Amino acid sequence: MPALVVALLIFWLSSSSNPPGQNLAPDYVGHFVLYGVFALTLLWALTRGLQKKITAKRAVGAFFFSSLYSATDEFHQSFVPHRSPSWSDILADVLGAASFLLVTLALVWIYRRRRQVNES
């Protein structure tokens, strides 16, 4: 459900010729953060709300789906007045998703490692 909410938020923002908050930060910052959060919600979905382990394979799946959505979102923007698709937006989206997922994988690795050490 969280991934669907974020996907709908992205779609809604992309549907606007003048999205709210566009002057708060540079465009690439918004893309980076929004797609980073989107990738994490996809990871949440792929782990069924953390009922399954966070693995690199699931993180790659979340990255793939968020990147694919980024490309379709830019295509969608080509139909919105005063908006146009941009490779730099896709790059910011992909970098945001990758960064958030890599940090998450690193934190999970650290957590598991510390737990292993404490159990020994």
Nearest CA to 89 out of 21, 33, 50 is that of 33
Residues recorded for the chain: 120
CA 56 to chain CA centroid, Å, is 15
What is the rounded (10 degree) CA torsion for 107, 113, 118, 119? 130
Domain that holds residue 48: 2-119
Q: Is 73 exposed, middle or buried (0-12, 13-18, 19+ CB in 10 A)?
A: buried
Tell me: pLDDT of 5 over 90: yes
Count of domains for the chain: 1
Nearest CA to 69 out of 38, 48, 108 is that of 38
pLDDT confidence of 51, banded at 50, 70, 90? confident
Tell me: pLDDT of 25 over 80: no
pLDDT digits (tens, 9 = 90+) for 55-110: 999 999 999 999 999 999 989 888 988 888 889 999 999 999 999 999 999 999 99
Residue 55, helix vs strand vs coil: coil
Report, as an integer, the average pLDDT of 13-29: 79
Neighbours of 91 (CB within 10 A): 14
